[in-house]
Amino acid sequence: MRLAEVETPPEGRLRLDNMLEAVSVAPVVDLVVFPELFACGYDPLLVERCTISEADAAGIGGAFSRAFPGAWIAAGTWPVRRSDGALLNRLLIFSPDDRLACFSDKVHLFRDMGEDEMFSPGLPSGVFDMGGTGAGAFVCYDLRFPEMSRRLALSGARLIVVTARWPEKRTDLFRCLLRARAAENQVFVAGCNAGGGHLGVRFMGGGAVAAPSGNLVEGTVVAPGVTDYDIDLEEVTSVRRRIDCLRYLRPGVY
């Protein structure tokens, strides 16, 4: 599988220029991942401008598929207004035919930045079929909670997508946690992080992909802010064939 991670600073609108440039350099991409709230960040005015209904959320995939035809799109998170009025920080994942295949709300809100004053906590995704591969996803701060990835791995996920907005000063920790979640569950974990500056905070950009071994996968920068990775999902099987940690879990003891 080839996946591309697109770092985009918040502009309050879709940025297709980097995407289109990436397509021209790497035309065969299976999955494209965007960061958390990439279109608005946490600016209250931009959040309000970018807020969409649940019905509208299902229809925005076309803008992405025109840039990446034939690819799965993890379209970053969007402020999505639920029918009961709650505002959710929701990751949207679209299939190559523009269908909303999965969504995952941010479960753990980062209160130190007042996120709980803007959003309501939501529900995580289950495992979904990504072209024959079991996949799951969660958002940013949820990475600090190992139960999130363990739940997905036990349900059959071999690839976990993390869309994030971690500050530059926590770059090492972000990558450390990606590696830990990958190694402890023997899955691939792809973390895409926002770049640039926003509300006085510098973001690390890019992100990383961790293999089931816990090692980082080497990526190739194919355009400004766009990194391309080539992963072999059969590595999940080969790693578990050697040491199948999940097989020996003792949930009644924990």
**Residue pair 54/92 in contact by the 8 Å Cβ criterion:** no
Per-residue pLDDT reduced to its tens digit, 99-124? 999 999 999 999 887 899 999 999 99
Q: Which of 8-17, 69-78, 182-191, 230-239 has the lowest mean pLDDT?
A: 8-17
The end-to-end CA distance of the chain, in Å, is: 35
Q: Which of 23-32, 84-93, 190-199 has the lowest mean pLDDT?
A: 23-32
Q: In the CATH scheme, what is the homologous superfamily, with its name and number, of domain 2-248?
A: Carbon-nitrogen hydrolase (3.60.110.10)
Average pLDDT score over the chain:
90
Rg (alpha carbons) of the chain, rounded to whole number: 17
Most confident of 187-191, 192-196, 221-225: 187-191
Structure tokens at 81: 């207004």
